[in-house]
Amino acid sequence: NAGVTQTPKFQVLKTGQSMTLQCAQDMNHNSMYWYRQDPGMGLRLIYYSASEGTTDKGEVPNGYNVSRLNKREFSLRLESAAPSQTSVYFCASSEALRGTGEKLFFGSGTQLSVL
């Protein structure tokens, strides 16, 4: 099993460009998440999806959109990239939303630079 597969691993954008980060999991998990990691700060939740067809805002959703295409896939889109979105992005999944009794499984991360 591949676990959580996240692409691309690296990306450089110019301000105003758009891009989509792809994430897929093969563990039949209900819940999927997008986090960003910035120096000196803990992981912060951008958006999450409790199940196929549902999405909800996290702590820092501005400037992002998401799509839960099916149970396996959860994509993150930057419509008009800004330098403040330079960060490392992680996709994660778990069996249940609450995280109680359930481990989180993370993708390998995407290092995004916006110039």
Decide if residue 101 touches another protein (CB under 8 A): yes
Window 66-95: contact mask with another protein (x via CB under 8 A)? ----------------------x-x-x---
Residue 50 · residue 63 · CB < 8 Å:
no
| Cβ contact 35:99 at 8 Å | no
Distance of closest approach, residue 31 Cβ to another protein, in angstroms: 8
CB of 59 to another protein, least distance (A): 8
In the complex, minimum distance from the CB of residue 76 to another protein, in angstroms, rounded to a whole number: 16
Q: How far apart are CA 72 and CA 30, in angstroms?
A: 9
The amino acid sitting at 104 is L
The piece of 12-20, 22-30, 43-51, 72-80 that touches another protein (CB under 8 A) is 43-51
Separation of alpha carbons 89 and 43, rounded Å: 9
